[in-house]
Structure 1
Amino acid sequence: MLAGIARDYGQPVMIWQVGTLLGTLLVAWLLARLLRYKLDSRWRARHEAARFGAESLRKALFPLLGGALVWIELNVLDDYMSTSLLELALVPLIGIALIYIVFFVARRVFGRTGQAHAWLSIAEKLVSALVWVGMVVTVLGIQDEVLRWMASVRFRVGNAHMTLLSLTTGLMWVCATVIAALWVGSMYEDRVMRAHSLDANLRVVLSRVGRALLLLAAVLISFSLVGIDITVLGVFGGALGVGLGFGLQKIASNYVSGFIILIDRSLRIGDTINVAGLQGMVTEIRTRYTTVRGLDGIETLIPNEKLITDVVQNHSSYLTRGYAKVAVQVAYTTDVEQAMALLAQAAHGVERVLDDPAPAAYLVGFGADGINLELGFWIEQAAKGTAGTRSTVNRNVWRLFNEHGISIPYARRDVRLVGGWPTAVAGAVEIAQDPAMEPAPAPKPADDSGTGIARDASAGA
């Protein structure tokens, strides 16, 4: 390519090539700008994870369109004029477009949360270096010599003879098929997770099983392309089965339990559960463990096997509402009908208290100190907690009872002494009745190490 540029330099054909190349790049820039505008308007409404990596695709539009147009011109003008400059320009255009496309695919596969993975930057730098080396080798025209040198480097892996060229080609095929499978799996997962007609747990199961099957198929296909006989995997499968039966029994049990939880829908994301004394909300259900966020905000990873074998209390209602009660006691002299009306009024207007069914007050019994009343009401989204709502209702009850003069009795007990006043109590009463009399000081005990009777008597006196 460099020899062709040197040959055409200073010739009129070079001016024609420069003009054609500049016009082609201008057309490619205009088309890329139009496509960027359409892509931006489409991605603006999507979530952050879907927009991650879009900048790489926008940057790839110009060199990709430019390379396509230059390639078309090469095929059209090759029979009429020298195209050495166009051939040289095609190499960096295709190479740079390839780099950005790889960046886009890698970020969509390994950055689905909207953030760059630690290995993502290393992979991008490695791909950039390899592509630039390939472009330089292509421009210099020594690609055939490099390939022959890689084919001459031979080494042995077990019983197989391999070359550097075959090893590099095999790794490229494996990486390409695995990344393609992960990309298709991520798109499949996004599509399944957006299917609101399916249950949330069923969507998780379908997405994870689909991605696992795609990845397995990609590995098997890549092994076949490289030339590895996949029948040798039967030995590995047998060894894996023995390992699962002995050393990996717990791990396999957790994975199976995770799929059971997702399929039978016994737990859902957002449920408030109590297992082994830990109460919290389910924030994530994975195939090996379930994440539960406690009331203190600390997240705990619970193995799925424990959720299958242990007793789990689910505090979340299917209707997402719960019933709460407030008990109160009024004096026997109180107007019971008025007190019950005030109780029902105390729950009206409180946040999260449902109006349908309406709060209702009940007379539940007659106690030793007063009449026992009870207020029952329904709370929306009871899994979030009911203490704050019940506290607000109790404060309203206290305020309304004070405003209408309704008293809440407290326990009163009468103590009756049978058989006369004890001597110590009689002496204390006489002292209290005659201020002039002063009690004699209590004698000090002779021995502190005794039984403590003298100390107790002094304290009693």
Structure 2
Amino acid sequence: MATDPTLPPIEQAQDIAIGLWAQGHGFAMGMMRPWNAYQMLIILGLIFAAHLLRAVLGPRLHAWMRTREGWPKWRMRFLVMVHRRLRLIFFVLLAWITFAVMREVTWHSRSYLIEIAASLATAWLVIAFVTRLIANGFLRGIVRYAGWAWATLIILGLTDEAQQLLDSLAVHLGETRISVWLVLQAVVILGALFFVARLVSRTTSARIARNEEISPSMQVLAVKFLQVLLYGAAFFIGLRTVGVDLTGLAVLSGAIGVGLGFGLQKVVSNLVSGVIILLDKSIKPGDVISLGETFGWINSLGARYVSVVTRDGKEYLIPNEDLITSQVVNWSHSNEFVRLDIYFGTAYADDPHLVRKIAIEAAAGVPRVLSMKAPVCHIVGFGDSSVDYILRFWIRDPTQGLTNIRGNVYLALWDAFKEHGISIPFPQREVRMLETPEGSKEAAPALD
């Protein structure tokens, strides 16, 4: 059904709508013929038969699925999809069997409605299974209903009319004509290209992550570069496919450059800082860092920020610029060994040689304290009421926490000192009452 391209868009749309109405009216009148009515009754009977089969076999399939313990998750998900669409699956099978039988025993004109119904049901079933690959529920629904609508138009032979109708609904912006058909084309093509780019990116990222020869920071850099390359290529290829002139983007890029120079300085700074961090390998996923009051391990490196997870479960999103301009303590930069120091004191009456020996043995018996780097203990001073010591030991898993290992070592020292009779002094004060010449008493200064 062709329309006059010289007519205004509204009149073109009216002509197309009138033509579609005429075709629909002719189809409805054709349904009044006996064989068409018989085919409709057969289709209704097939729907009822599919419903009965679903009611009988559905619970049995569900009970069988519950006994399949240990199956892969993807296989169980596929069975759940099949169970939810058993009615449609049975209808597709029965419809094609009925059409094949009727095509052999009668004329094609007496079975074409069954063929159309079988084709529509098959298309809907295939689209329902294919769209399950889309993780986003909202996007999956849009793609599913759009696919069903377009498949229905193809099977009914109304694609040309629908295309002309959508193309007639257009607006003109200068010399550029933007129609609903062009917008739909762009959405579909860009969506498909972005889906392919995302699939390729995930597959390649998983392979890069499994390559132990590549450092974690270079893995993140390679993945980010690949994502920018794939999504950028998908965007420009999609625009070129639908006929968008990319030369006009030069003006837009200039405007974006001005915006970056004024309003997006921090964003650009964080992006550049992120690239520098990945290139110089100063930090990488899994490192334990301290930045100001924040202490934790790096969960992920983003384009704008670094995710740092602390021991209490809090996740801090630290801008990349702060990691470049501030002093960062990386506890596991060049190696995974971390030395910890704790201080304690004992009474002057205790033998310092024995104290050092007991402290070293107590620390060495604590889990997580490395035996390959044996603990050491030294006297660091003579205090007012105690001999002061420093105990140094090494661990190799700072991600498991520092405060807890210090506490375990202190507890081991307490038990060891109590067992060997070594006392830990603490400040004490006593007050003496002195006699004055007049016989009265006054408090003497407190003595430690």
Normalization by structure 2: what TM-score? 0.68
Residue in 1 that maps onto 2:126: 97
CA deviation profile, 1:27-58 (whole Å, cap 9, x unmatched):
xx9xxx9xxx9xx9998278xxx998996699
**1:195 lines up with 2:211 in the alignment:** yes
Residue in 1 that maps onto 2:317: 301
Residue in 2 that maps onto 1:427: 436
Task: Tell me how far 1:321 sits from its aligned partner.
Answer: 3.1
Q: Is the 8 A contact 2:274 2:303 kept in 1?
A: yes
**1:186 lines up with 2:214 in the alignment:** no
State the distance in 2 between where 1:238 and 1:308 align.
29
Q: Is the 8 A contact 2:288 2:332 kept in 1?
A: yes
Residue in 1 that maps onto 2:445: none
Residue in 1 that maps onto 2:260: 244
Q: Structure 1 pair 127/45, CA: closer, same or farther in 2 (3 Å)?
A: closer
Normalization by structure 1: what TM-score? 0.67
**1:376 lines up with 2:372 in the alignment:** no
For 2:436, give the aligned amino acid: G
Question: Of 392, 395, 404, which residue of structure 1 is paired with 2:420?
Answer: 404
CA deviation profile, 1:35-93 (whole Å, cap 9, x unmatched):
xx9xx9998278xxx9989966997999899989x99x999x98997362345412220
Question: Superposition pairs for residues 138-157 of structure 1, below 5 Å?
Answer: 141-157=157-173
Residue in 2 that maps onto 1:312: 328
**SS of the residue 2:286 aligns to:** coil
Q: Structure 1 pair 41/210, CA: closer, same or farther in 2 (3 Å)?
A: farther
**1:338 lines up with 2:325 in the alignment:** no
Bigger drift between 282-291 and 154-163 goes to 154-163
Bigger drift between 377-386 and 358-367 goes to 358-367
Structure 1 gap segments, 5+ residues each:
111-119, 416-423, 434-461
Q: Structure 1 pair 65/316, CA: closer, same or farther in 2 (3 Å)?
A: farther
Q: Is the 8 A contact 2:347 2:385 kept in 1?
A: yes
Q: Is the 8 A contact 1:330 1:406 kept in 2?
A: yes
Task: Tell me how far 1:350 sits from its aligned partner.
Answer: 1.5
State the distance in 2 between where 1:43 and 1:237 align.
52
For 2:176, give the aligned amino acid: A
Q: Structure 1 pair 210/79, CA: closer, same or farther in 2 (3 Å)?
A: farther
Bigger drift between 276-285 and 89-98 goes to 276-285
Q: Is the 8 A contact 2:153 2:159 kept in 1?
A: yes
**SS of the residue 2:134 aligns to:** helix
Task: Tell me how far 1:347 sits from its aligned partner.
Answer: 1.7
**SS of the residue 2:250 aligns to:** helix
Q: Is the 8 A contact 2:282 2:333 kept in 1?
A: no
Q: Structure 1 pair 58/288, CA: closer, same or farther in 2 (3 Å)?
A: farther
Q: Is the 8 A contact 1:193 1:207 kept in 2?
A: no
Q: Is the 8 A contact 2:288 2:398 kept in 1?
A: no
Residue in 1 that maps onto 2:134: 106
Task: Tell me how far 1:251 sits from its aligned partner.
Answer: 1.1
For 2:206, give the aligned amino acid: D
Q: Is the 8 A contact 2:434 2:441 kept in 1?
A: no
State the distance in 1 between where 2:219 and 2:76 align.
22
Structure 2 gap segments, 5+ residues each:
1-26, 443-448
Q: Is the 8 A contact 1:344 1:359 kept in 2?
A: yes
Question: Superposition pairs for residues 198-237 of structure 1, below 5 Å?
Answer: 198-237=214-253
Q: Structure 1 pair 289/406, CA: closer, same or farther in 2 (3 Å)?
A: closer
Q: Decide which structure has the larger Cα Rg and report it.
A: 1
Structure 1 vs Structure 2 CA RMSD: 4.8
State the distance in 2 between where 1:227 and 1:354 align.
66
**SS of the residue 2:308 aligns to:** strand
State the distance in 2 between where 1:325 and 1:360 align.
10
CA deviation profile, 1:222-252 (whole Å, cap 9, x unmatched):
1121111222222222222232223222211
Question: Superposition pairs for residues 318-333 of structure 1, below 5 Å?
Answer: 318-331=334-347, 333=349
For 1:95, give the aligned amino acid: W
Question: Of 376, 393, 405, which residue of structure 2 is paired with 1:360?
Answer: 376
Q: Structure 1 pair 236/192, CA: closer, same or farther in 2 (3 Å)?
A: same
Q: Structure 1 pair 223/61, CA: closer, same or farther in 2 (3 Å)?
A: farther
CA deviation profile, 1:104-124 (whole Å, cap 9, x unmatched):
2321xx4xxxxxxxxx32x33
Q: Structure 1 pair 181/296, CA: closer, same or farther in 2 (3 Å)?
A: closer
State the distance in 2 between where 1:145 and 1:364 align.
92
Task: Tell me how far 1:254 sits from its aligned partner.
Answer: 0.8
Q: Structure 1 pair 66/243, CA: closer, same or farther in 2 (3 Å)?
A: farther
CA deviation profile, 1:329-379 (whole Å, cap 9, x unmatched):
445554444333322222233222222223334455666766554433223
Q: Is the 8 A contact 1:316 1:383 kept in 2?
A: no
